[in-house]
Amino acid sequence: MTGSSALPGIATARAYRREWLRPDITAGLVLTALLIPAGMGYAEAAGLPAYAGLYATIVPLLAYAVVGPSKILVLGPDSSLAPLIAAAVLPLAVANDPESALVFAGVLGVLVGVILLVGGFLRLGFVTELLSKPIRLGYLNAIALVVIVGQLP
């Protein structure tokens, strides 16, 4: 694996053109305006402090900018994960101690990341093809509707 294939963001930065700067800054500001409040809200819905959602929104985006293979993919927090994280973390956390819930959520995030890395190395992406295309499209359309309805107020 060459350096540019391991870190596609570096290759993109080297080939970056000045005329892309204004649209990229505009897109970044819009994305920030949408993702930061959503991330903080989802963190609170999962029983974590709001600042955890702030970090969980910003840090993965920066990491993806360096190692992500797509220049146009938009990443962000997902509301469907909040109840799953809450169900896994809150029973283990000490009552009225958001820091213990934060530690367990961090461990959960690292474990999920390790599982995804192992799945990537084992080339298990074909498993997504086991879900029918209408189910995958329906899920993606539902996410788009949730985002649109969430921004109406």
pLDDT, averaged across the chain: 83
pLDDT at 104: 92
What's the confidence (pLDDT) of residue 26?
A: 93
Q: If pLDDT is split at 50, 70 and 90, which confidence band does 43 have?
A: confident
pLDDT of residue 45: 84
Positive/negative CA dihedral, 7, 12, 13, 14: positive
Band of pLDDT at residue 36, cut at 50, 70 and 90: confident
Long-range CB contacts for residues 29-34, cutoff 8 Å, separation at least 24: 31/74, 31/76, 34/76, 34/147, 34/151
Which comes out higher in pLDDT, residue 111 or 136?
111
The answer to whether residue 2 scores a pLDDT higher than 60 is no
Residue 107, pLDDT score: 92
**Band of pLDDT at residue 146, cut at 50, 70 and 90:** confident
Range of the domain at 44: 3-151
User: How far is it, in rounded angstroms, from Cα 153 to Cα 144?
Assistant: 16
- Structural domains counted in the chain: 1
16 three-class SS: coil
Band of pLDDT at residue 5, cut at 50, 70 and 90: low
Residue that wins the pLDDT comparison between 97 and 106: 106
Mean pLDDT, rounded, for 95-106 = 85
**Mean pLDDT value across residues 5-28:** 86
Looking at 30-39, 65-74, 117-126, which range is the least confident one? 65-74
The rounded distance, in Å, linking the Cα atoms of 51 and 43 is: 8
